Amino acid sequence: MRKPARFGESLLGDKVRCRLCPRLCVIPMGETGFCRTRLNDRGQLYTLIYGSVTSMAIDPVEKKPLYHFLPGSDSFSIGTAGCNLACRHCQNWTISQANIEEVDHENMLPERVVELAQKYRCPSISYTYSEPSIWFEFVYDTAKIAHAAGIYNIYVTNGYMSLEAWEEIKPYLAAANVDVKAFSDDFYRRVCSAPGLEPVLRTCEWMVENGIHLETTYLIIPGENDNSEEIRKFCRWEVEKLGPDVPTHFSRFFPMYKMSDREPTPVRTLELALKIAKEEGLHYVYIGNVAGHKGDNTYCPNCGKLLIERFGFDILRYEIKDHKCPKCGTEIKIFGEYSPASR
């Protein structure tokens, strides 16, 4: 659905600058910005995807991945078409790199999304599958209604949104997983067609400063962002700027989209990343996309006791008592009580 968009700035010559993300696209009349979802119509900015839902599911919150937010619960998950990046390895490229008219979708009102979350007893709504920032107007309206209804809002995001927009959504945003795709500007330019890394780091730091529950994901791609020193710098930045308690997910890459000729990430590379992260002082580090690996479990950062045992997105064992390790009493950073969902 088409509606007037936020963060548009009229310029000379009927051009419009979009301030929603750090690209600051200057859009000529009749054209769209990089994300293909925001149109300049006679000098006014419009969103072309308001309420246009391409993907909808009830997911374990662990799939986002969020391991320290409402563990064991389900999240009502929705997504749309388009993205403000063009990652060569995107797993959802069929929607993220498509125009809305090229994919099947259903038009929904914000109230309907909240009704469905309530119907299926989901304590949260996740804006995911493609980049939620480009869907800002619809996400904002939905999040506001959900918040009033006592439902938590979750962003699964590349972090490429302006601080101006983050400030707007802040009162209604409870948690986010930010995909830090690498720790170098070169990777973002070559692989993601993005100006650079800095806006993503700024987003993560803003979230911590503003009390948004944050977890990060770093997908390790062989030969691209798997250098030990780069991973160490990433971990050091997290400890220094985000704090040691921010959960960090090192995820296994599988061949996809324009990187279908690559090999999957060796498990030993993920294990090395986990080791480096622990050396740098991170407390909660995970290995993703390797079902059954012990690196997918949560351990007490003080005594090493197994606190949460997982297999895939399922919790097999949960030992945390009153947000503390039952063995040594160390406080465990986790939001909400364990609530096993019917899956």
The predicted-structure confidence for 78-89, as pLDDT tens digits, reads as follows: 999 999 999 999
Section 194-213 average pLDDT: 97
pLDDT at 196: 95
Section 51-80 average pLDDT: 98
| % of the chain residues with pLDDT over 90 | 97
Mean pLDDT across the chain, nearest whole number? 97
Cβ proximity of 180 and 204 under 8 Å: yes
In this predicted structure, the answer to whether residue 342 has a pLDDT above a threshold of 60 is: no
131, 200, 206, 201: which is closest to 168 by C-alpha? 206
The predicted-structure confidence for 215-270, as pLDDT tens digits, reads as follows: 999 999 999 999 999 999 999 999 999 999 999 999 999 999 999 999 999 999 99
Banded model confidence at residue 316, pLDDT cuts 50, 70, 90: very high
How far apart, in whole angstroms, are the C-alpha atoms of residue 161 and residue 18?
A: 11
pLDDT at 337: 87
How many other CB atoms are there within 10 angstroms of residue 322's CB atom? 9
Q: Provide the strand spans (E) within the chain.
A: 3-4, 8-10, 16-18, 26-27, 38-41, 44-47, 52-53, 55-60, 74-79, 106-107, 124-127, 152-157, 175-179, 213-220, 248-252, 285-288, 298-299, 306-311, 314-318
Section 179-205 average pLDDT: 97
pLDDT at 58: 98
In this predicted structure, the answer to whether residue 45 has a pLDDT above a threshold of 80 is: yes
The predicted-structure confidence for 124-155, as pLDDT tens digits, reads as follows: 999 999 999 999 999 999 999 999 999 999 99
What is this structure's pTM? 0.97
Q: Give all domains of the chain, ordered by start, each with its CATH number.
A: 3-47 (no CATH), 53-318 (3.20.20.70)
Cβ proximity of 212 and 176 under 8 Å: yes
